[in-house]
Structure 1
Amino acid sequence: MALQSMTWVGFEVSSGFTGAAPECVAVTPDGPLQITADCVDPMYDTPIIANETDETLPLPHHRVSGYFNGTTTDFNIYLPLQENWDGRFFHQVYPLQNSTAEDVSIAFGIDSSGYTVRVAGDLGYRADAATAKFSKEVAREYYGDPDRQIYGYVYGGSGGSFQTIGAMENTDGVWDGAVALIQAIPMSSPNNWCIRALAGLTLDSKSDQIIDAVRAGGSGDPFAGLEEHEGVALEEATALGVPLNAWEDFDGVARNRTELYNTIRTMVIPNVKSAFPTYADDFWTKEGFLGMEESELGQFFRDSLVEYNATVEEVQLGEDDVPVGIKLDNVPEVSPDELEFTILSEGEEVGSFIGLVNKEDGSVYIYSDNNATILANLAEGVQLLADNRWYLAVHTWHRHQVPALEAGYYGYDYLRTDNGQPTYPQYDTLLAPSISRAASGGGTHTGNITGKVIIMDNLGDFDAFPWHADWYKSQVQSALGDRFKDSYRLYYNQHANHYMGTVPQSLQSVIVDFTGLFEQSLRDVSAWVEGNIDPPKQTQYTVENGQVIVPPTASKRRGIQPIVNLTVDGGNRTEVQIGDTVTFSIQAEVPPGTGKVVSVEWDFEGKGGFVEIDIGKPSKKVKTQVSHTYDTAGTFIPTVRVASHRDGDTETLFARLLNLGRVRVIVSESSTGP
């Protein structure tokens, strides 16, 4: 069944929906636009259907593609066959996504009796809200049921959590529920990047011993053996929220595998420079800033500072004659790989750019996101000042951005004196909330949600710190009062971090794919809205020194994730010789009312190569032993991966909830007698 060609201005559409509708308005002049089911957003008032196709993959569905006239926003609506639809839709949001939904998202929607909505990434919630409302009209016409009530559920992670919360606080009647994943809050960006960067730069030389300490079977004390300045940096990062267990993935926390360096260069430095152009000078010349601090950490930063003059000997041009590389007359041995280069003309600064230095031949690769107008000044003989002043300075930007005490961001109390005042000099304006407001569409995380919301956060998340979700929980409690319990849930998960989607094999013995966890939360919020079925109880936890701590047992922890306890020789590590048989004991259990364990998989070498074993019928608790013989020497992290499912379904690919158990086995060469 094809739809008629439709445009939507108010509710006047060619398919017969009529009636004037008011424009959506903001409550305050500078506040976010309040979107209701009965108002029209003046920016997104004319949706155009551009194409319709019947698709067979991943499952049969009807795809409706379109855009909003006069905007760059486009969308896709994926409608399942009528017999596979039960009056709901699922709508993922993220600022940088395109409008093509992944096969797994479309298939999950169909498996959950819903259609799928996807809108090209944009800041805020307004384009998504307009598309969500339009999708209901499209669905009613397609299914031939103009009076059908349709329930909608919006969800998104990280930057998408900004949009999800913005949507649920500033719309009414558009979506009925939401799942916000790996939650960001108004103090998250850019501060979290700086907190990680400070610790990562300072601890880099001790990465191996820190990894070993926090890994399964390690000492559990990553502070042991650190020098004074290293301990200060790790203590600060821990108190501000970086999970201690996350440091096992040191490359993820503090190196560029997760784009930390690139984000510092392309997002943090430009934003701080624009808002506070004197910050780097303050850092290196004023009391109260680390660059002037009489401490081991201050000395470490001064020793890391590099500044030198160089002359351009050669310029390499790319497309449109924009410089893509240069060669310098000298590069000191101490030069870092990445530096800021300031172009000088008769001693005056013309502008700056960032480049990657090759110390062997003096060449500099110029990043393509530099300003082409500034690069046009590069020529043979031009004088440059190379330095890392700004790069180092922003590592402590968070110290000078402490929020007001009454705002409740308790993790930042680490950066206060005993009388509640900030320890370090402060700037008048907080940068992070302005970034949050832009991403969430002007929202301010008031907690005043208009539908049912489930928050899913991960205990190993080094991008969105776990205690931040607890802060937002307090916002919702304050805003809703007695309505809180009937509107909000917070679930924490083990062995998961910020990584959304299929986990690379190299990390599968460390973290789980949490897709199934949020799929179940989407189904739970749907049942909560449509059937008044309460979701499982929230995760029980405490927050200690910036760390979220959960109980060890399923009955006390609650939440929805299965709990796994793996031991070897009664503990978390053992030492054996080649050829010895090692026996592992596992106990896995689901929290009350959350289903059954449906699979147990083993990876005895900890390399992500899992093999499933037979556990018989699905059950609420699994207790078993397995044995393995190692034929090579080395240190291994045997891992067991457990999956549970709400209905005990062993065949489905959807809503499988994963967790890991891990121990350490040290295998040495066999001893030989005389």
Structure 2
Amino acid sequence: MTIHNASETIRVTPLYNGLQDQQFQNPYVDIDELREEPVPHRYIHGGFTGTETKFSFYFPAKENYTGRFFQPVYPVQGSENASQSHTSGIDNKIGFAIASGAYMVETNMGGPSSDSTLVYRASAAVALYSRVKAAELYGPHRPFGYIYGGSGGGFKTISFMENTTGIWDGAVPFVIGTPVAIPNVFTARVHAMRILKDKFPEIIDALEPGGSGNMYAGLNEEERQALEEVTRMGFPPKAWFAYKEIGDGALTVLTPAVMRMDPGYFEDFWTVPGYLGADPQSSASKARIQFKTVITEVVWPQKQTSSESHAASNMGVDEAWKMLETAEEALPFFKLQNVPDTNAYLDGAFIRICSGAAAGLDIPLGRIEGNIVTVGSAFGFFASVESLESVKAGDEIVLDNSDYIAIQTYHRHQVPSKDFVVWDQFREENGEPLYPQRPLQVGPIISCGGAGSLQSGLFEGKMIVVQTLMDESALPWQADWYRAKVKEHLGEKLNERFRLWYVDHALHADTSSNGAFDDLHIVNYVPVLHQALLDLSAWVERGVTPPDSTNYKVNDGQVTVPAKAAERKGIQPIITLKANGGERAEVSVGESVVFRAEIEVPPNTGKIVSAEWDFEGDATFPNPAILKHSNEEGSQAVVEATYSFSRPGIFFPVLRVASNREGSSDLYTNVLNLCRVRVVVL
């Protein structure tokens, strides 16, 4: 805890050093062996007696060790072996650590607990014990330690740095939120998705290269207001290309927590003036469904048991929340006497049991197929899978979407302090909220419960934050909010200990893309994380100053960056691509199109090492480009190509490029970007 005044910051609660914590005085090792996969290393597994805390260490050969460790921090407490399920390509955390001369530390962070401080205390205990084992293996020394984590792991990474001393020397939090992010980033998004569901093709087309640029064209007043609201909240409009894939994110997992903390909201929404649902003419009221029917048969599939491998395989920043779900394969489905119209809005609806032994049970609805409904997999709406065994044929039910519609505008009733300026749209000119406010702020409660504290901006060591410009879940402006908190403490010395790098054309997920649809729009930002860890270690250990923070502006919730690499800074290459001299070309079948791209990387961040074309949208990038470097350093290049299309249609040719600090083709640190143009073939 800290207290701030005009001249200094005073710590009230001492920082945690872990040395005297009696809970973690008795470590044990139960596995110590040499492994060849995914790369040769020494694997040590163990825990702390009397606790649920477990750890895994991955040590390189002594001749390859350079005196440091990397410790990934996952969004939720899960498996200490999570990295063992991601051992190929760029997602290979173990391989990257070993290749970088580091050993890797992994922990379950103590497992589920009512003590919110356990998450950083357990992680600190594991880090400290890793140093003991490193000294045994390599000789007496103190390894430098670096943590990194994204999304929920970003909250934790920051909390660990702000609450401990002497444990970690630096951190790379990425795709981070603020204390008021949850559930508000998701509610605003899903509200817009409900209202705009039929308009997204036109919105996306307007935002694509060669489009009109006016994403509001053709929208009615309500649709325009919904799109403007979510945009001013910070949702990046170009991310709508993935509206079908991003769905409601973690909202179904978060909704039970809101229902427990603020149950009155879900009645007030429909009855109290000032809430959208209280207006009978609102789209919320018109979309509301309370459909009564009867279960005619309950069908149970063969039950499957969960395993650690399931937990370990879902620890990416976009997948980890799914660990909180119940496996859908283990759930029953219900045959119904009758079902709603196929056009009914049933997203997020409940199956409410109204009679029989299970009366009062709320079950999330999965999907409707004919007269069959499946059970959704959102944890928290029912006590357990076993509780569903009381549902029987003949039970009366209601399919009800009331609560899910209600939560979609929850952010309007959660107006926080004035430093969260994206909420200004919900304030009167005198600063008072436009809408009725709830008696508590849910976001900070959830954030603190998951990370052990709220961000203060006060930490020891050094930090590089990585944020993506198309992030649909950790809205880009949130990293700027944290930078401002850090600057409150560091002032003019900010650049001595802090960097913020924005990455363009990347969403929230930190794993490899999902094929054609993604690869034509986004790049993997994990190489930026890897380079940040290497730059951070060089900064801490040798005083090597990392590249500058990205130059950016925040206006009405949107983060914008300069078009030129030298002005934008950060470390990502920038592409300017033209087709027949513009962002849009119209040609006939068989007519040649001339493509030309200028590529540059920010000063002192490396060399452009590769470029590849995808002309027709199959996402295989089958056409390697010839780089013509424009300067001796290789930081500028030109790529040219001529291509003709054999069939009519609208095409979006893509050029994807990579830069590398050392000018090599290292998989782990090849920083990517792409650029698209439109070609209309008549």
TM-score (norm. length: structure 2): 0.87
Instruction: Give the structure 2 partner of residue 490 of structure 1.
Output: 500
Matches within 5 A, 1:449-598: 449-506=459-516, 507-598=518-609
Structure 1 pair 323–380 and aligned structure 2 pair: CA distance change class (3 A): farther
Whole-angstrom CA distance in 1 between matches of 2:447 and 2:71 = 21
Instruction: Give the structure 2 partner of residue 394 of structure 1.
Output: 407
Of the candidates 346, 365, 375, which is equivalent to residue 355 of structure 1? 365
Aligned-partner residue type, residue 264 of structure 2: T
Of the candidates 93, 103, 110, which is equivalent to residue 73 of structure 2? 93
- Equivalent position SS for 1:310: strand
What's the CA shift string for 1:362-389, capped at 9, x where partnerless?
x222346533575354333332232111
Structure 1 pair 604–46 and aligned structure 2 pair: CA distance change class (3 A): same
Give the Å deviation of 1:357.
5.0
Instruction: Give the structure 1 partner of residue 16 of structure 2.
Output: 35
Instruction: Give the structure 2 partner of residue 300 of structure 1.
Output: 283
Whole-angstrom CA distance in 2 between matches of 1:326 and 1:486 = 61
Matches within 5 A, 1:610-629: 610=621, 611-615=623-627, 619-629=634-644
Aligned-partner residue type, residue 51 of structure 1: I
- Is 1:608 aligned with 2:619? yes
Whole-angstrom CA distance in 2 between matches of 1:637 and 1:113 = 41
Determine if contact 2:297/2:392 at 8 Å carries over to the other structure: yes
Give the Å deviation of 1:341.
2.5
Whole-angstrom CA distance in 2 between matches of 1:604 and 1:168 = 46
What's the CA shift string for 1:174-215, capped at 9, x where partnerless?
110010111122111111110110011111011111111112
- Is 1:113 aligned with 2:128? no
Structure 1 pair 360–110 and aligned structure 2 pair: CA distance change class (3 A): closer
Give the Å deviation of 1:331.
1.9
What's the CA shift string for 1:71-97, capped at 9, x where partnerless?
333211111111111111111110345
Of the candidates 268, 279, 283, which is equivalent to residue 282 of structure 1? 268
Q: How many residues are treated as equivalent by the alignment?
A: 621
Give the Å deviation of 1:580.
0.7
- Is 1:76 aligned with 2:62? no
- Equivalent position SS for 1:183: coil
What's the CA shift string for 1:471-490, capped at 9, x where partnerless?
00000000223432211111
Whole-angstrom CA distance in 2 between matches of 1:332 and 1:107 = 52
Determine if contact 2:591/2:645 at 8 Å carries over to the other structure: yes
Whole-angstrom CA distance in 1 between matches of 2:268 and 2:650 = 47
Whole-angstrom CA distance in 2 between matches of 1:348 and 1:354 = 14
Instruction: Give the structure 2 partner of residue 648 of structure 1.
Output: 663
Structure 1 pair 560–357 and aligned structure 2 pair: CA distance change class (3 A): closer
Higher RCO (C-alpha under 8 Å, 6+ residues apart) = 2
Of the candidates 123, 137, 140, which is equivalent to residue 142 of structure 1? 137
Structure 1 pair 569–170 and aligned structure 2 pair: CA distance change class (3 A): same
Of the candidates 397, 414, 420, which is equivalent to residue 425 of structure 2? 414
What's the CA shift string for 1:11-69, capped at 9, x where partnerless?
xxxxxxxxxxxxxxxx76xx7x8322x62333333221111111223332111111222
Whole-angstrom CA distance in 2 between matches of 1:493 and 1:355 = 37
Whole-angstrom CA distance in 2 between matches of 1:74 and 1:315 = 40
- Equivalent position SS for 1:43: helix
Whole-angstrom CA distance in 2 between matches of 1:215 and 1:250 = 14
- Equivalent position SS for 2:34: strand
Determine if contact 1:343/1:352 at 8 Å carries over to the other structure: yes
Instruction: Give the structure 1 partner of residue 4 of structure 2.
Output: none
User: Is 652-661 or 470-479 further displaced after alignment?
Assistant: 652-661
Instruction: Give the structure 2 partner of residue 127 of structure 1.
Output: 122
Determine if contact 1:324/1:367 at 8 Å carries over to the other structure: no
Give the Å deviation of 1:359.
5.8
- Is 1:270 aligned with 2:279? no
- Is 1:404 aligned with 2:417? yes
Determine if contact 2:288/2:345 at 8 Å carries over to the other structure: no
- Is 1:664 aligned with 2:678? yes
Whole-angstrom CA distance in 2 between matches of 1:320 and 1:132 = 39
Whole-angstrom CA distance in 1 between matches of 2:300 and 2:457 = 52
Structure 1 pair 374–452 and aligned structure 2 pair: CA distance change class (3 A): same
Whole-angstrom CA distance in 1 between matches of 2:483 and 2:647 = 49
Whole-angstrom CA distance in 1 between matches of 2:513 and 2:360 = 45
Structure 1 pair 538–358 and aligned structure 2 pair: CA distance change class (3 A): closer
Give the Å deviation of 1:418.
1.1
Give the Å deviation of 1:526.
0.6
Instruction: Give the structure 2 partner of residue 315 of structure 1.
Output: 298
Instruction: Give the structure 2 partner of residue 154 of structure 1.
Output: 147
Q: CA RMSD in A?
A: 2.3
Whole-angstrom CA distance in 2 between matches of 1:346 and 1:52 = 55
Whole-angstrom CA distance in 2 between matches of 1:588 and 1:176 = 35
What's the CA shift string for 1:396-436, capped at 9, x where partnerless?
1111111122xx11111121111111111111211111111
Whole-angstrom CA distance in 2 between matches of 1:423 and 1:547 = 22
- Residue identity over aligned pairs, in percent, reads 37
- Is 1:378 aligned with 2:391? yes
Whole-angstrom CA distance in 1 between matches of 2:121 and 2:132 = 17
Of the candidates 174, 193, 217, which is equivalent to residue 181 of structure 1? 174
Determine if contact 2:613/2:655 at 8 Å carries over to the other structure: yes
TM-score (norm. length: structure 1): 0.88
Determine if contact 2:628/2:639 at 8 Å carries over to the other structure: no
Determine if contact 2:353/2:359 at 8 Å carries over to the other structure: yes
Determine if contact 2:628/2:638 at 8 Å carries over to the other structure: no
Give the Å deviation of 1:316.
2.8
Instruction: Give the structure 2 partner of residue 167 of structure 1.
Output: 160
Determine if contact 1:635/1:667 at 8 Å carries over to the other structure: yes
Determine if contact 1:307/1:385 at 8 Å carries over to the other structure: yes
Determine if contact 2:234/2:557 at 8 Å carries over to the other structure: yes
Matches within 5 A, 1:13-28: none
- Is 1:52 aligned with 2:51? no
Whole-angstrom CA distance in 2 between matches of 1:586 and 1:645 = 19
Gaps of 5+ in 1: 1-26, 669-674
Whole-angstrom CA distance in 2 between matches of 1:174 and 1:268 = 31
Instruction: Give the structure 2 partner of residue 18 of structure 1.
Output: none
User: Is 216-225 or 451-460 further displaced after alignment?
Assistant: 216-225
Whole-angstrom CA distance in 1 between matches of 2:358 and 2:263 = 17
Aligned-partner residue type, residue 165 of structure 1: I
Whole-angstrom CA distance in 1 between matches of 2:41 and 2:387 = 51
- Equivalent position SS for 2:605: coil
Give the Å deviation of 1:289.
0.4
Determine if contact 1:52/1:62 at 8 Å carries over to the other structure: yes
Structure 1 pair 43–252 and aligned structure 2 pair: CA distance change class (3 A): farther
Determine if contact 2:367/2:376 at 8 Å carries over to the other structure: no
- Is 1:342 aligned with 2:352? yes
Aligned-partner residue type, residue 23 of structure 2: M
Determine if contact 2:272/2:278 at 8 Å carries over to the other structure: yes
What's the CA shift string for 1:597-634, capped at 9, x where partnerless?
11111111233211322326771100231111111221
User: Is 117-126 or 577-586 further displaced after alignment?
Assistant: 117-126
Whole-angstrom CA distance in 2 between matches of 1:355 and 1:70 = 40
Instruction: Give the structure 1 partner of residue 648 of structure 2.
Output: 633
Instruction: Give the structure 2 partner of residue 20 of structure 1.
Output: none
Instruction: Give the structure 2 partner of residue 241 of structure 1.
Output: 234
- Equivalent position SS for 1:35: coil
